[in-house]
Amino acid sequence: MRRPGAFASLARLQATAYQLFRGRCGAKGDSMAVLIRIADFHDDMIAWRRHLHANPELGFEETATSAFVCERLSEFGVDEVHEGIAKTGVVAVIRGRDGGRRVGLRCDMDALPLTEQTGLDYSSKVTGRMHACGHDGHVAMLLGAARSLAETRAFKGEVVLIFQPAEENLGGGQVMVREGLFERFPVDAVFGLHNWPGAAVGSFAICTGPIMAATDSFVVGVRGQGGHAALPHTTSDPLLAAAATVQALQAVVARSVPPREAAVVSVTRISGGDAYNVIPDAVELWGTVRTYTPEMRKLCRDRLEAICNGVAETHGCTAMVDYRRGYPPTVNSDVETDFAASVAADIVGESRVNRNATPSMGGEDFAYLLEQRPGAYILMGNGPGDGGRVLHSPFYDFNDEALPIGASYWVRLAERFLAS
Ligand code: NI
């Protein structure tokens, strides 16, 4: 834990003052209320974001990123900085007036194992490492909000800033929860945000209930009896069993999941065999299952296992199903979702907030935080997703025009949540 000490103070009134901030944050003709102080930080946020972009680190390896975050937080004069939560995670506390509630604001910090192909002058310096999901922008926005909140402190209670490691596949959010995140920082609610290419800068989308899916995966080993391809009657062909299994698994969604529910069962890899004239002994199938509720999650798993075993047996083979539970669904609570949407509307206007967003079948480990506390995860427009500029693409780059919008959302959310 570090206590930077210095209590920065600027006019508190700035926190609640707005101006129409034109030109840098959106399409022609748009005007949005970005906090004055945040607009002042835009160039700094761009510099932070591009520094992080050029120096990406994978999950649980974000040591330089964490150090950068801690340095900035210390400069801003936040009250507490706690390092080393879930290895490279950082949690900071900013106190306002005495009493009041606590609110958690969370961003993710990790990059992806991709080699960047944008050709930008601040491209990744590391081959095979890239901020291709915009977590560099997420960190920069939360830092911008931290700076403003530490200056103005126009709220009652505490803002808890959660810089989470390892969102991509490694479940850093779950590790933070296991290491006592909410026992040490007992927030009343927690909020998350992700940029969304393909939606206009200055727009937000959210929904109550599940907004992202559970992300389970499976590996199925189909074992038979190989032999000469010219003598198939002397074999139990696992390739034929595997092919039939891929077909039969389509029946899980088509015939077991109720039509008004949503689920995905995708087989994504088949491997086995070495020669055109040899029937192999074994074949392996990989795939993923996406669901929004515990009931559908269990149903899909049960049906998948039954189909794999049954089809294999039909072909004189056996199936070994290794079903791996991934992230749970990300479930927004009702009150906090309405609140988050109204905060977004404060910044960009009600017409630019979609309160009935279509949930994504992607996954998000903020789900683990929402299992512990009420809260809401919102999607923020990041501009056109053309030219391959989509999440997890080597051509993607976070849109810097969105930085003051996201940071203003965080500040406004904290100030409203802690208004009384
Ligand atoms: Ni992401």
pLDDT digits over 61-75, tens only?
999 999 999 999 999
Question: How many CA within 13 A on the CB side of residue 138?
Answer: 29
Bridging pattern class, strands 156-164 and 318-324: unpaired
d(CA 92, CA 76): 11
Separation CA 138–CA 126 (nearest Å): 20
DSSP assignment, residue 252? I
Mean of pLDDT values over 12-28: 35
Comparing C-alpha atoms, which of 67, 74, 79, 65 is closest to residue 167? 65
- Note the pLDDT tens digit of each residue in 330-357: 999 999 999 999 999 999 999 999 999 9
Task: Note the pLDDT of residue 17.
Answer: 33
Least confident piece of the model among 9-18, 257-266, 330-339, 378-387: 9-18
CB 335 within 8 A of CB 374: yes
pLDDT greater than 50 at residue 130: yes
Please tell me what DSSP assigns to residue 255.
I
Q: Kindly report the average pLDDT of the chain as a whole number.
A: 91
CA of 186 to the centre of ligand 1 (A): 25
Tokens 């210095």 correspond to what residue?
6
Reported pTM:
0.88
Residue 1 pLDDT greater than 70, yes or no: no
Cα(273) to ligand 1 centroid in Å equals 36
Distance 385 CA to ligand 1 centre (A): 15
Q: Distance (Å, rounded) from C-alpha 361 to C-alpha 174? A: 20
Mean pLDDT on 132-143 = 98
Distance 360 CA to ligand 1 centre (A): 13
Confidence band for 151, pLDDT divided at 50, 70 and 90: very high
Centre of ligand 1 to C-alpha 194, Å, is: 7
In angstroms, the CA 252 to CA 218 distance is 14
CA–CA–CA angle 52, 81, 104 (5° rounding): 85
Separation of CA 274 and ligand 1 centre (Å): 38
The domains of the chain, with CATH numbers, are: 10-212+329-417 (3.40.630.10), 214-324 (3.30.70.360)
C-alpha of residue 159 to centroid of ligand 1, in Å: 23
- What's the confidence (pLDDT) of residue 169? 87
Residue in 106, 119, 323, 300 with CA at minimum distance from that of residue 221: 323
